Amino acid sequence: KQEVTQIPAALSVPEGENLVLNCSFTDSAIYNLQWFRQDPGKGLTSLLLIQSSQREQTSGRLNASLDKSSGRSTLYIAASQPGDSATYLCAVQLTGTASKLTFGTGTRLQVTL
């Protein structure tokens, strides 16, 4: 059974700092890994999707990496801003599971002025 863990559970940083969020998964037979952000009381917004054959994806100030063999992904946020404050979720899709996503426990990020 795939388990997805995110560390830390909560993080507070001052504006402008670079930061790394971690995601680990127990079963390395994945199709892809997706990072989302969730704002309080809102739905999820897809940030980045990494296929199993890829090592990283970039979008603006965000960079996500994937190391299947070690069961890890990181989301790097450069020059953090207060608007980045949200809960960040990673989710993996196992091979042969017809698009079923298994979500991590989330990291709640607070970027302070």
Partner 1 sequence: DTAVSQTPKYLVTQMGNDKSIKCEQNLGHDTMYWYKQDSKKFLKIMFSYNNKELIINETVPNRFSPKSPDKAHLNLHINSLELGDSAVYFCASSQDFASTYEQYFGPGTRLTVT
Nearer to partner 1, 18 or 95 (CB): 95
Stretch that binds partner 1, among 17-25, 28-36, 60-68, 69-77 (CB under 8 A): 28-36
- How many residues belong to the site for partner 1 (CB under 8 A)? 27
Lookup: tokens for 86: 């949200």
Within its chain, how far is the Cα of 24 from the centroid? 10
Q: Using CB under 8 A, which of 1, 14, 43, 69 touches partner 1?
A: 43
Instruction: Report if residue 25 touches partner 1, rule: CB under 8 A.
Output: no
**Based on the number of CB atoms within 10 Å of its own CB, is 19 exposed (0-12), middle (13-18) or buried (19 or more)?**
middle
Looking at residue 81, the DSSP 8-state letter turns out to be -
Residue 80 within binding range of partner 1, rule CB under 8 A: no
Is 106 a residue that touches partner 1 (CB under 8 A)? yes
Is 42 a residue that touches partner 1 (CB under 8 A)? Answer: yes
> 22-57 burial string, b = 16+ CB within 10 Å, else e?
ebbbeebebbbbbbbbeeeeeeeeebbbbeeeeeeb
Binding site for partner 1 (CB under 8 A): 31-32, 34, 36, 41-46, 49, 51-52, 87, 89, 91, 93, 95, 97-103, 105-106
